[in-house]
Amino acid sequence: MAHNVEVVGLGTDAKIKLVHRHLIGVHTAAAAEAIGLATKAGLAPRDVFDIIKNAAGSSWSFKDRVPQMLNEDWAPRSSLDAAVDNMGTVIAAARGIQFPLPVASVVEQLYIAGAAQGYGSEDDAALVKLFLQDGHVTSKIEQTAHDGAQLTPVTTPVEIAKVGFIGLGAMGQGMAASLARGGFDVHGYDVWKPSIDKFVSTNAKATAAESPAMAAKDADILLLMVQNAAQAEDVLFGSGKAAAALPDGAVVILASTVPPSFARKLKGMLGDLGRNIGMLDCPVSGGVVRAANGTLMIICSGDEPMVEKAHSAILSMTGTPTNLCRVKGGVGAASSVKMINQLLAGVHIAAAAEAMALAARLGLDTREVFDLACKGPAWSWMLENRGPQMLEADWTPHSALAIFVKDLGIVLDEAKNLGYFAPISSASHNLYLAGASKGWAKESDAGVVRLWDVSVSANASPKASKPQKETETVPIKPLPAKKTLAALPEEYSTDVLDDNRRYVDSGGAPVLVVLDDDPTGTQTCHDIDVLTVWDIETTRAQFERESRGFFILTNSRALPSTEAKALILEICQNIKEAAKQAGKTFEIVLRGDSTLRGHLPEEPLAAEEALGKFDGWILAPFFMQGGRYTIDDVHYVQEGETLVPASQTPFAQDATFGYKNSNLREYILEKCGSRFDSSSFLSVTLEDIRTGGPDGVKAKLLSRPIGQGTAVVIVNAVAESDMHVFVAGLLKAQEAGRRYLYRTAAAFVSSRLGIRGIAPLSIDAVSPPASVTGSSSAPPAGGLILAGSYVPKTTAQLKRLREQRGSKLAVVELDVSDLIKSEESASQTIAAATATANAEVASGHDILVMTSRTLVKTSDALGSLQIGSKVAIALVQILQGIETRPRYIIAKGGITSSDAASKGLNMRRARILGQAAPGVPLWRCDEATSRHAGVPYVVFPGNVGTDDTLADIVEAWDV
């Protein structure tokens, strides 16, 4: 079909539609090329889909179209003829303004070829038939196991005395550190000595190796995280001489991205040594942050005995078995899956660059185009992840352009060897080659957008344009607290909390699983467990031991939105399967910040993807201990004698999660865009609660008929009794068949479980028994306070603590600028702080380790999260260096307390004992696998308490 598009006459909406058609068309065609190559390579495409749908190669089109390809369902939801027409419109518009679209042009030709083959009236997913010799996918998809549970050894795990690690670059540092945190003696080598020095400073289990051979000597496992195949071969059989130094029976884990044919070749070379040295093909995905956090996705293939031997080491880098993706087919199969992921990721970055450049050439606000694309069918993981760098012209190499020169080269070489054509990969590869020829190889791969002579960043508005208004129409005024609260209706006269508890204990309610986006959500509960892992086996065991509910610490607030969404999806899927195995029903609470910070709508959308649609989202940010009240749908934070609208507090200025609206209706529209409109809301008012009681709440909830779409239920509350009454009515509505998803603060959880508050606990009341810590006559050790939170309340509390304790408190202040300036600077800062803290704790002195009080942030949310991650890693490394068990540990701030618990202390399951002060949770982990088992652990939120609260706890816990 011929197209004649006059771009000059197009309006903004029509131009945005062109960009979206470009992205959707390229993503769909890339999915077809990728699934075709997976089939040609002998992989099970359904397994490939299950792995990549949650990885960096994912897109809306991949998730939507590939199931149709796998099922050979060609019923036209969107026909291939329509794809020809849509891409033709895009290409014609580009020609009209003399703007090159090399990737989109290739895709248009593929759609035309598909239509010419007679597929035009079928769904555009039928394009995959163009890449298959017989046109069939189904016969090729004998499903193989990739479930992480299959990696669990069926025999007693082999003891691993030493792990050798070669390649301590950006990814390797985090992986090696995760192994050391897992208790393995790790001997690390890198060609750049500062990388070795940095690694050694992270953990007492980290040892420097002078050469690859020394890393390999006596190693039960040797892990290679080098840049390419040539380096891997040289390390083992060339100048590195590592293969000769390995003991008989060792296992080599190849984690680098290499051609599948090379992985098979390397296995053969090791086998030719005749010394029973095995090999596992284990490419990784997830980026630098997940490597450092120990939550990488690792794709694994190889012989079963080798998998069993290396299982515990691999698990220390993935965090949970669900991050282990087992692929059958032997060595080379995992690299083939990684190759498919890299095909998609590389094409998606190129498509994002091409589309954003087109948007700029069309005169569009590129930030608005980006925001809209990320909320609908034009989305890809890479667009969302790399788009901010394009908008800010930030070419910091979080992932260097040279990587895709290499990785798409691997794709094209392997395709050629298989007799397979990959035109989209070829067009994309040429863009990366062009970028490298301009000297950009070591800069960000997002910088490929500079190939077009337009400026994406210059066309970006300073802040993202929203389809809904961002600012409140009429500014909401602060209110006098005492007068406002006194004017409200009297509280409901009956205490219903015990009724709630009896209902829950009787088994009338589903098990409540609270996904806590940072550890502070446990602040209203006691005598309940919190998990820091979420594999199916552990979660099933928790369902079997606890009928009321439990927490899972996700720490998702510390992650970028894309990673947070993928994490919640994974956890909800695991919970669903674990509950099924245990024969339990459950419901999910997404526990978030009472000052409205967090990933919205990403986390609820992820829960819906795993668990299906709900009748409503319950929004309940009330938290009395923190002075967080909701009145007439407006959320307030009490400051002194004043109720301040939440959007007018420092919390709303958060560099990552800032917002403009205090009215919760406007807040939801601001955050969720077109997902909701003014008809979506249902308010449960204070009058409903205090006058109508539980039956009034039930009637209000049931007043919205089923079938009107997902409602957003706003819960107004200013007293704990309000939340108790709301829950009592909610339980009645659930008996009538309603199903809800909860986005709440901590107060809802204790009301729903029927947990009545207790007085703050003293250190004597929570000290562990001697059976946990062992008997000792040594003088008491010092207490340790770690402070990473930067909010004004924390700063005020630290100031008061230092004033009140004076010389009784040692203080180490970490300059955040030093932590982010360079690896060498960070290593020196951490080493000095660790030495001081270790000495003070051992000598019985309390010590405060705090970050500098000036907030260091970037112009975008992702950059600010990355700074926060570096700060958290530094505090964890200091904690890991503390040799003497502290008398207690106080962790100030959500990210700090989460990482200190899970990474610094290796907690997997802890008991929530109560609170050290109102709103300040107190945990203890007595499991032998944890570090410093039995230490009282105070999870101190950054934004809770008075200026004196922290000092009062430290004073009370003095000896």
774 C-beta neighbours (distance < 10 Å), count: 9
SS3 state at 456: coil
Q: At residue 446, what are phi and psi to the nearest 5 degrees?
A: -65, -20
> Does 331 have pLDDT greater than 50?
yes
Query: Is 35 within 8 Å of 45 (Cβ atoms)?
Result: yes
The domain boundary, picked from 395, 430, 451, lies at 451
What CATH code is carried by the domain that includes residue 158? 3.40.50.720
CA 778 to chain CA mean position, Å? 42
> Does 294 have pLDDT greater than 90?
no
Q: Structure tokens of 224? A: 């290679």
Same domain, 133 and 250: no
| Burial class of residue 75 (count of CB atoms within 10 Å of its CB; 0-12, 13-18, 19+) | exposed
The verdict on residue 645 lying in a domain is no
Same domain, 299 and 279: yes
C-alpha 245/C-alpha 177 separation (Å) is: 23
- For residue 28, give the H/E element and its range: helix 12-40
Same domain, 155 and 129: no
> Does 141 have pLDDT greater than 50?
no
SS3 state at 299: strand
The verdict on residue 459 lying in a domain is no
The verdict on residue 154 lying in a domain is yes
Residue 945: closest CA among 782, 717, 792, 816: 792
Report the pLDDT value the prediction gives residue 471, as an integer from 0 to 100.
46
Same domain, 133 and 153: no
Report the pLDDT value the prediction gives residue 882, as an integer from 0 to 100.
93
- Where is average pLDDT lowest: 147-161, 315-329, 632-646? 147-161
Same domain, 192 and 290: yes
Read off the pLDDT of each residue in 824-831 and give the average, rounded to a whole number.
89
Relative to beta strand 297-302, strand 278-281 is: antiparallel
Same domain, 132 and 156: no
Query: Is 533 within 8 Å of 319 (Cβ atoms)?
Result: yes
Query: Is 848 within 8 Å of 810 (Cβ atoms)?
Result: yes
| pLDDT greater at residue 484 or residue 941 | 484
Residue 844 Cα distances to 772, 805, 837, 954, angstroms: 20, 15, 11, 14
C-alpha 440/C-alpha 401 separation (Å) is: 7
Query: Is 723 within 8 Å of 688 (Cβ atoms)?
Result: no
Relative to beta strand 549-553, strand 251-254 is: unpaired
Confidence label for 860 from pLDDT (cuts 50, 70 and 90): very low
Same domain, 136 and 154: no
Residue 56: closest CA among 281, 221, 290: 290
| pLDDT greater at residue 760 or residue 139 | 760
pLDDT digits (tens, 9 = 90+) for 162-171: 999 999 998 9
- Where is average pLDDT lowest: 125-134, 412-421, 491-500, 653-662? 653-662
Same domain, 525 and 577: yes
Q: Structure tokens of 398? A: 């979080």
Residue 557: closest CA among 287, 319, 895: 895
State the amino acid at position 881 in one-letter form. G
Mind spelling out the 3-state secondary structure of 370-408?
HHHHCCCCCCEHHHHHHHHHHHHCCCCCCCEHHHHHHHH
C-alpha 691/C-alpha 259 separation (Å) is: 69
Read off the pLDDT of each residue in 664-692 and give the average, rounded to a whole number.
92
C-alpha 750/C-alpha 760 separation (Å) is: 16
pLDDT digits (tens, 9 = 90+) for 521-574: 898 999 999 999 999 999 999 999 988 999 999 989 878 787 889 899 999 999
Residues of the domain holding 87? 7-143+338-451
pLDDT digits (tens, 9 = 90+) for 199-216: 998 778 999 999 999 999
The verdict on residue 42 lying in a domain is yes
> Does 6 have pLDDT greater than 70?
no
Read off the pLDDT of each residue in 876-894 and give the average, rounded to a whole number.
92
Return the exposure string of 161-197: e unless at least 16 CB atoms fall within 10 Å of the residue's CB, then b.
ebbbbbbbbbbbbbbbbbbbbbebbbbbbbeeeebbb
The domain boundary, picked from 326, 354, 372, lies at 326
Report the pLDDT value the prediction gives residue 772, as an integer from 0 to 100.
58
Query: Is 131 within 8 Å of 37 (Cβ atoms)?
Result: yes
Same domain, 386 and 520: no
Of the chain, the percentage scoring pLDDT greater than 70 comes to 92
Query: Is 752 within 8 Å of 908 (Cβ atoms)?
Result: no
Residue 169: closest CA among 11, 292, 24: 292
Q: Give, as one character, the DSSP assignment of residue 224.
A: E
Q: Structure tokens of 41? A: 């390579």
Terminal C-alpha separation, the chain: 84
What CATH code is carried by the domain that includes residue 748? 3.40.50.10840
Confidence label for 1 from pLDDT (cuts 50, 70 and 90): very low
pTM above the 0.75 mark? no
Exposure on the CB side of residue 906, measured as CA atoms within 13 A: 16
Which residue do the tokens 């034009």 mark?
Answer: 378
The verdict on residue 518 lying in a domain is yes
| Burial class of residue 159 (count of CB atoms within 10 Å of its CB; 0-12, 13-18, 19+) | exposed
The verdict on residue 241 lying in a domain is yes
Same domain, 94 and 194: no
- For residue 587, give the H/E element and its range: strand 586-591
- Where is average pLDDT lowest: 19-33, 250-264, 518-532, 607-621? 518-532
What CATH code is carried by the domain that includes residue 891? 3.40.980.20
pLDDT digits (tens, 9 = 90+) for 705-723: 887 889 999 999 999 999 9
What CATH code is carried by the domain that includes residue 42? 1.10.1040.10
Report the pLDDT value the prediction gives residue 562, as an integer from 0 to 100.
78
pLDDT digits (tens, 9 = 90+) for 48-94: 999 999 888 999 999 999 999 999 999 999 999 999 999 999 999 99
- Where is average pLDDT lowest: 326-335, 438-447, 504-513, 645-654? 645-654
Same domain, 162 and 265: yes
| Burial class of residue 812 (count of CB atoms within 10 Å of its CB; 0-12, 13-18, 19+) | middle
Report CA torsion sign: 227, 230, 234, 237.
positive
**Active site members:** 338
C-alpha 362/C-alpha 388 separation (Å) is: 19
C-alpha 384/C-alpha 473 separation (Å) is: 30
Report the pLDDT value the prediction gives residue 779, as an integer from 0 to 100.
82
The domain boundary, picked from 275, 295, 326, lies at 326
Report the pLDDT value the prediction gives residue 531, as an integer from 0 to 100.
96
Q: Give, as one character, the DSSP assignment of residue 145.
A: -
Read off the pLDDT of each residue in 323-340 and give the average, rounded to a whole number.
95
Report CA torsion sign: 803, 804, 810, 815.
negative
Confidence label for 467 from pLDDT (cuts 50, 70 and 90): very low
Query: Is 320 within 8 Å of 432 (Cβ atoms)?
Result: no
Query: Is 350 within 8 Å of 382 (Cβ atoms)?
Result: no
Exposure on the CB side of residue 122, measured as CA atoms within 13 A: 19
Query: Is 294 within 8 Å of 178 (Cβ atoms)?
Result: yes
Report the pLDDT value the prediction gives residue 777, as an integer from 0 to 100.
57
Query: Is 697 within 8 Å of 689 (Cβ atoms)?
Result: yes
Residue 747: closest CA among 618, 901, 569: 618
Report the pLDDT value the prediction gives residue 201, as an integer from 0 to 100.
86
Residue 258 Cα distances to 57, 228, 283, 409, 420, angstroms: 17, 6, 8, 10, 19
Report the pLDDT value the prediction gives residue 769, as an integer from 0 to 100.
67
How many domains does one find in the chain?
Answer: 4
The verdict on residue 488 lying in a domain is yes
The residues with which 550 forms a beta bridge, in sequence order, are 513
Report the pLDDT value the prediction gives residue 473, as an integer from 0 to 100.
52
- Where is average pLDDT lowest: 89-98, 761-770, 808-817, 838-847? 761-770
Report CA torsion sign: 800, 806, 809, 815.
positive
Same domain, 689 and 746: yes
Query: Is 786 within 8 Å of 900 (Cβ atoms)?
Result: yes
The verdict on residue 696 lying in a domain is yes
Relative to beta strand 711-715, strand 681-684 is: parallel
Read off the pLDDT of each residue in 882-906 and give the average, rounded to a whole number.
90
- For residue 553, give the H/E element and its range: strand 549-553
| pLDDT greater at residue 182 or residue 351 | 351
CA 413 to chain CA mean position, Å? 33
